[in-house]
Amino acid sequence: MFIHFEEPTKTFCILLAGGKGARLHELTENVCKPALPFAGGHLIDFTLENAVRSGVRQVLVAGQYRANNLSDYLQRAWAGRFDQGLVFRNGFQFAPGGYAGTADAVRANFEAVLNSGADTVLVLSADHVYRMDYRQMIEAHRASGAKVTVAADLVDIDKASSFGVLDVNADGRIRHFLEKPNDPPALCADPTRALVSMGIYVFDRAWLAQALCCDDRHDFGHEILPIAVDEGVAHAYRPAAYHGGTFYWRDVGTLDSYLQAQLDFIAGTSRPFSAGHMECFSPAVRRAAMTGSVLLPGATVEEGAMLSRAIVAAGVRVPSQLRVGFDRDEDLHWFRTTANGTALITAGMIANWQAAHSSGKPLEYGANVVGV
């Protein structure tokens, strides 16, 4: 059941979409992370769908890296879905170096918050895969009296160092917060898991304005949330599963997580999502998924090629002689390969592989010979 906003205009939404996604390597050379293809759409579509579904009527999108293409897409595909407008603000319009961090992006656009008359600020990340009703989180924030509410989910302890890790008491107040700790603390009740920030925040506007008054506070995780925790005014919120089932949320910040989330979608294990996402997979994409691989738009695989745990970049044609995912040393020589065996295949990598194999002389591939 949806919970009704008292007045939608009391909440102002800022969507952070400036990230490069460096851990996705060549996938984000030409597009920002929120614009990456995913399940027939783009990563940013998930957050925008959530916003529309939750009754959000106006959104300010703070972009930066490869901003023009994203801005054009948002105006074309999403601006008409928000009756009070969707505004895109490129960080490089504010300073030569752009936004200095997540908090700095909100600070640079805070005049829009003040002009809206909102008493609550909803801050969202544009590059996560999940389905959520933000109204329930906003109502929980107002009911708790918190100045900051952080959406949180459970992850395996071996992945927790990539997130902000929370320790909460029985009523949801955050007692400790560690941003991307090397040795993340586990839950007392389950040593295999940790409670982490989803990068979704609800702020009391007046409190946030005060916290942002210092220009050297650039990042929510490193500088703003610790202040709220020290003051005892930060609470955690666990989202409910949408229409039952298990809540699904993924930060697809690495090649491994990007691959797995797409495979989850193709298999249907990440439901419930919109039918448009679930029905967009071609037979070729489904065949690739059976080998644990993903084809991005325009990618093709010639008959005879064999792939396992591969991401084939957009527009790449995989030749029939190629084998990826069966010889780690060979994969490392030619393709961007992670410690878990996920291999990224780009057009440049294929060209080097073909040149070497047609001449019979192995070539030094260089920067992609890594295991990250």
- Tokens describing residue 165: 């890790």
What pLDDT is attached to residue 281? 81
CB 63 within 8 A of CB 15: no
Could you read off the pLDDT of 222-239 as tens digits, one per residue?
Answer: 999 999 999 999 999 999
254 against 370, higher pLDDT: 254
- The owner of tokens 């996920």 is 342
Whether residue 195 is found in the same domain as residue 320:
no
Asked if residue 161 and residue 305 are part of one domain, the reply reads no
Query: Last residue of a domain, which of 229, 250, 271?
Result: 250
Q: Residue 335: pLDDT above 80?
A: yes
Strands 120-125 and 11-17, sheet pairing: parallel
Domain-embedded: residue 268: no
Q: Which amino acid is at 357?
A: H
Residue 1 maps to a domain: no
In a domain, 277, yes or no: no
What single-letter amino acid sits at 16?
L
Distance of CA 103 to the CA centre of its chain: 17
Q: Residue 144 sits in a domain of what CATH number?
A: 3.90.550.10
153-206 pLDDT, tens digit each? 999 999 999 999 999 999 999 999 999 999 999 998 899 999 999 999 999 999
At 280 the pLDDT is 64
- The CATH number covering residue 296 comes to 2.160.10.10
Residues 87 and 207 in one domain: yes
Q: Is the pLDDT of residue 329 over 80?
A: yes
pLDDT-based confidence at 259, cuts 50/70/90? Answer: very high
Asked whether residue 190 falls in the same domain as residue 299, the answer is no
Q: Are residues 181 and 53 in the same domain?
A: yes
Q: Are residues 149 and 286 in the same domain?
A: no
User: Would strands 148-156 and 193-204 be described as parallel, antiparallel, or unpaired?
Assistant: antiparallel
Q: Which residue has the higher pLDDT, 1 or 341?
A: 341
**Backbone dihedral angles phi then psi of residue 252, each to the nearest 5 degrees:** -90, 60
Same domain assignment for residues 304 and 368: yes
Sign of the CA dihedral with 175 first, then 225, 196, and 137 last: positive
Structural domain includes residue 137:
yes
Tokens of 284: 């070729």
- Both 148 and 224 in one domain: the answer is yes
* Domain count of the fold of the chain: 2
User: Looking at the domain assignment, is residue 270 inside a domain?
Assistant: no
260 found inside a domain: no
- Model confidence pLDDT, tens digit, residues 16-59: 998 888 999 999 999 999 999 998 899 999 999 999 999 999 99
Confidence of residue 244 (pLDDT cuts 50, 70, 90): low
Residue 267 lies in a domain: no
In a shared domain, residues 50 and 176: yes
Average pLDDT over residues 240-257: 85
The CA distance from 139 to 358, in Å, is 63
pLDDT exceeds cutoff 60 at 114:
yes
Q: Both 68 and 200 in a single domain? A: yes
Last residue of a domain, one of 230, 250, 270: 250
Residues 6+ apart with CB under 8 A from 244: none
* 255 inside domain: no
How many angstroms separate the CA atoms of 221 and 362, rounded?
A: 45
Q: How far apart are CA 278 and CA 265, in angstroms?
A: 7
Q: 252-291: buried (b, 16+ CB within 10 Å) or exposed (e) per residue?
A: bbbbbbbbbbbbbbbeeebbebeeebbeebeeebeebbee
Regarding whether 157 and 56 lie in a shared domain, the answer is: yes
Residue 152 in tokens: 């949180």
Tell me the mean pLDDT in the region 353-369.
62
Do residue 83 and residue 231 come from a single domain? yes
Range of the domain at 185: 8-250
Handedness of CA 55, 248, 76, 34 (dihedral sign): positive
Of 250, 266, 291, the domain-final residue: 250
Report the predicted TM-score, pTM, of the whole model to 2 decimal places.
0.90
